[in-house]
Structure 1
Protein backbone atom coordinates (compact mmCIF):
# COMPACT_ATOMS: atom_id res chain seq x y z
CA UNK A 1 0.00 0.00 0.00
CA UNK A 2 1.29 3.45 -0.90
CA UNK A 3 0.70 6.06 1.81
CA UNK A 4 1.38 9.76 1.37
CA UNK A 5 2.04 12.10 4.27
CA UNK A 6 0.97 15.53 3.06
CA UNK A 7 3.88 17.84 2.46
CA UNK A 8 6.40 15.07 3.00
CA UNK A 9 6.23 12.24 0.47
CA UNK A 10 5.12 8.68 -0.16
CA UNK A 11 5.91 5.45 1.64
CA UNK A 12 5.43 1.87 0.49
CA UNK A 13 3.90 -0.03 3.42
CA UNK A 14 3.99 -3.83 3.47
CA UNK A 15 0.68 -5.55 4.30
CA UNK A 16 2.27 -7.09 7.39
CA UNK A 17 2.41 -3.62 9.02
CA UNK A 18 -1.22 -2.65 8.44
CA UNK A 19 -2.46 -4.21 11.70
CA UNK A 20 -0.01 -2.11 13.72
CA UNK A 21 -0.94 1.03 11.80
CA UNK A 22 -4.65 0.30 12.29
CA UNK A 23 -4.04 0.01 16.05
CA UNK A 24 -2.42 3.46 16.06
CA UNK A 25 -5.22 4.79 13.87
CA UNK A 26 -7.77 3.52 16.40
CA UNK A 27 -6.03 5.49 19.16
CA UNK A 28 -6.16 8.57 16.95
CA UNK A 29 -9.88 8.02 16.30
CA UNK A 30 -10.64 7.66 20.03
CA UNK A 31 -8.74 10.85 20.90
CA UNK A 32 -10.48 12.75 18.09
CA UNK A 33 -13.92 11.48 19.12
CA UNK A 34 -13.25 12.54 22.71
CA UNK A 35 -11.93 15.95 21.64
CA UNK A 36 -8.69 15.38 23.56
CA UNK A 37 -6.22 17.71 21.83
CA UNK A 38 -3.09 16.44 23.61
CA UNK A 39 -3.92 12.76 23.09
CA UNK A 40 -4.85 13.51 19.49
CA UNK A 41 -1.53 15.25 18.75
CA UNK A 42 0.36 12.38 20.37
CA UNK A 43 -1.62 9.74 18.44
CA UNK A 44 -1.17 11.53 15.10
CA UNK A 45 2.56 11.86 15.73
CA UNK A 46 2.82 8.16 16.66
CA UNK A 47 0.93 7.11 13.51
CA UNK A 48 3.07 9.24 11.21
CA UNK A 49 6.28 8.09 12.93
CA UNK A 50 5.23 4.46 12.41
CA UNK A 51 4.56 5.08 8.70
CA UNK A 52 8.02 6.61 8.38
CA UNK A 53 9.67 3.79 10.34
CA UNK A 54 7.82 0.85 8.78
CA UNK A 55 7.50 2.17 5.25
CA UNK A 56 10.02 2.45 2.47
CA UNK A 57 10.24 6.03 1.17
CA UNK A 58 9.56 6.34 -2.54
CA UNK A 59 11.87 8.58 -4.56
CA UNK A 60 10.42 12.03 -5.27
CA UNK A 61 10.87 11.52 -9.00
CA UNK A 62 8.66 8.39 -8.94
CA UNK A 63 5.06 9.36 -9.59
CA UNK A 64 2.73 6.77 -8.11
CA UNK A 65 -0.91 7.16 -7.08
CA UNK A 66 -1.34 7.03 -3.31
CA UNK A 67 -3.72 4.47 -1.84
CA UNK A 68 -4.08 6.62 1.26
CA UNK A 69 -3.24 10.23 2.13
CA UNK A 70 -2.46 11.12 5.74
CA UNK A 71 -2.40 14.64 7.17
CA UNK A 72 0.85 16.16 8.37
CA UNK A 73 1.58 16.75 12.06
CA UNK A 74 0.48 20.38 11.92
CA UNK A 75 -3.09 19.40 10.98
CA UNK A 76 -5.58 20.42 13.65
CA UNK A 77 -8.09 18.17 15.37
CA UNK A 78 -11.08 19.78 13.58
CA UNK A 79 -9.35 19.32 10.21
CA UNK A 80 -8.63 15.64 10.90
CA UNK A 81 -12.20 15.07 12.09
CA UNK A 82 -13.31 16.01 8.57
CA UNK A 83 -11.02 13.30 7.14
CA UNK A 84 -12.01 10.53 9.54
CA UNK A 85 -14.42 7.85 8.45
CA UNK A 86 -16.04 5.21 10.63
CA UNK A 87 -12.80 3.25 10.17
CA UNK A 88 -10.43 6.13 11.01
CA UNK A 89 -7.83 7.42 8.57
CA UNK A 90 -6.74 3.92 7.56
CA UNK A 91 -9.55 1.64 6.37
CA UNK A 92 -9.51 -1.92 7.53
Structure 2
Protein backbone atom coordinates (compact mmCIF):
# COMPACT_ATOMS: atom_id res chain seq x y z
CA UNK A 1 0.00 0.00 0.00
CA UNK A 2 1.36 3.41 -0.99
CA UNK A 3 0.31 6.27 1.28
CA UNK A 4 0.88 9.90 0.34
CA UNK A 5 1.17 12.43 3.13
CA UNK A 6 0.41 15.78 1.53
CA UNK A 7 3.49 17.97 1.67
CA UNK A 8 5.77 15.11 2.80
CA UNK A 9 5.81 12.50 0.04
CA UNK A 10 4.84 8.88 -0.46
CA UNK A 11 5.55 5.90 1.77
CA UNK A 12 5.37 2.19 0.98
CA UNK A 13 3.62 0.33 3.80
CA UNK A 14 3.37 -3.04 2.08
CA UNK A 15 4.74 -4.98 5.05
CA UNK A 16 3.15 -2.92 7.82
CA UNK A 17 0.83 -4.29 10.50
CA UNK A 18 -2.45 -3.21 8.91
CA UNK A 19 -4.38 -3.51 12.19
CA UNK A 20 -1.99 -1.04 13.83
CA UNK A 21 -2.25 1.35 10.89
CA UNK A 22 -6.03 1.07 10.99
CA UNK A 23 -6.11 1.81 14.72
CA UNK A 24 -4.29 5.13 14.18
CA UNK A 25 -6.61 5.96 11.29
CA UNK A 26 -9.65 5.11 13.44
CA UNK A 27 -8.47 7.53 16.12
CA UNK A 28 -8.40 10.38 13.59
CA UNK A 29 -11.90 9.51 12.44
CA UNK A 30 -13.26 9.28 16.01
CA UNK A 31 -11.77 12.64 16.95
CA UNK A 32 -13.13 14.19 13.76
CA UNK A 33 -16.62 12.81 14.39
CA UNK A 34 -16.50 14.17 17.96
CA UNK A 35 -15.66 17.62 16.56
CA UNK A 36 -12.55 17.89 18.74
CA UNK A 37 -10.05 19.79 16.62
CA UNK A 38 -7.17 19.39 19.09
CA UNK A 39 -7.75 15.63 19.28
CA UNK A 40 -7.93 15.47 15.47
CA UNK A 41 -4.53 17.08 15.10
CA UNK A 42 -3.03 14.92 17.86
CA UNK A 43 -4.38 11.73 16.23
CA UNK A 44 -3.29 12.90 12.77
CA UNK A 45 0.23 13.53 14.08
CA UNK A 46 0.30 10.03 15.57
CA UNK A 47 -0.87 8.58 12.23
CA UNK A 48 1.90 10.48 10.43
CA UNK A 49 4.48 9.27 12.94
CA UNK A 50 3.38 5.66 12.39
CA UNK A 51 3.48 6.00 8.59
CA UNK A 52 6.90 7.61 8.51
CA UNK A 53 8.37 5.23 11.12
CA UNK A 54 7.06 2.02 9.53
CA UNK A 55 6.90 2.94 5.84
CA UNK A 56 9.70 3.16 3.34
CA UNK A 57 9.96 6.45 1.44
CA UNK A 58 9.01 6.03 -2.21
CA UNK A 59 11.47 7.38 -4.78
CA UNK A 60 10.64 10.83 -6.13
CA UNK A 61 10.55 9.45 -9.68
CA UNK A 62 7.87 6.82 -8.83
CA UNK A 63 4.99 7.35 -11.27
CA UNK A 64 2.38 5.11 -9.65
CA UNK A 65 -0.68 6.37 -7.84
CA UNK A 66 -1.08 6.52 -4.10
CA UNK A 67 -3.57 4.09 -2.58
CA UNK A 68 -4.32 6.48 0.27
CA UNK A 69 -3.90 10.23 0.72
CA UNK A 70 -3.49 11.69 4.20
CA UNK A 71 -3.45 15.44 4.85
CA UNK A 72 -0.52 17.17 6.49
CA UNK A 73 -0.62 17.74 10.23
CA UNK A 74 -1.38 21.42 9.68
CA UNK A 75 -4.53 20.67 7.64
CA UNK A 76 -7.74 22.44 8.50
CA UNK A 77 -10.82 20.52 9.56
CA UNK A 78 -12.36 21.32 6.14
CA UNK A 79 -9.33 19.85 4.35
CA UNK A 80 -9.46 16.77 6.53
CA UNK A 81 -13.16 16.32 5.83
CA UNK A 82 -12.53 16.41 2.07
CA UNK A 83 -10.14 13.45 2.33
CA UNK A 84 -12.09 11.27 4.76
CA UNK A 85 -13.85 8.43 2.96
CA UNK A 86 -16.41 7.62 5.62
CA UNK A 87 -14.05 4.86 6.77
CA UNK A 88 -11.17 7.13 7.70
CA UNK A 89 -8.31 7.74 5.31
CA UNK A 90 -7.40 4.06 5.12
CA UNK A 91 -10.43 1.98 4.11
CA UNK A 92 -11.09 -0.90 6.49
CA UNK A 93 -9.59 -4.10 5.19
CA UNK A 94 -6.54 -2.48 3.64
- TM-score, structure 1 length as denominator? 0.91
Aligned positions, number: 92
Asked if 1:88 is matched to 2:88, the reply is yes
- Cα distance in structure 2, aligned partners of 1:61 and 1:86: 31
- Displacement of 1:21: 1.1
Q: Give the conservation status (yes or no) of the 8 Å contact 2:25–2:47.
A: yes
Q: Deviations over 1:2-55 (max 9, x none)?
A: 111112111100254221111011110111011101111100000011100110
Where structure 1 has 5 or more consecutive residues not aligned to the other structure, the ranges are none
The CA deviation at 1:64 is 2.0
Q: Residue 69 of structure 2 aligns with which residue? A: 69
- Structure (1/2) with the larger helix percentage: 1
With structure 2 as the length reference, what TM-score do the two structures score? 0.89
Map of 1:79 onto structure 2:
79
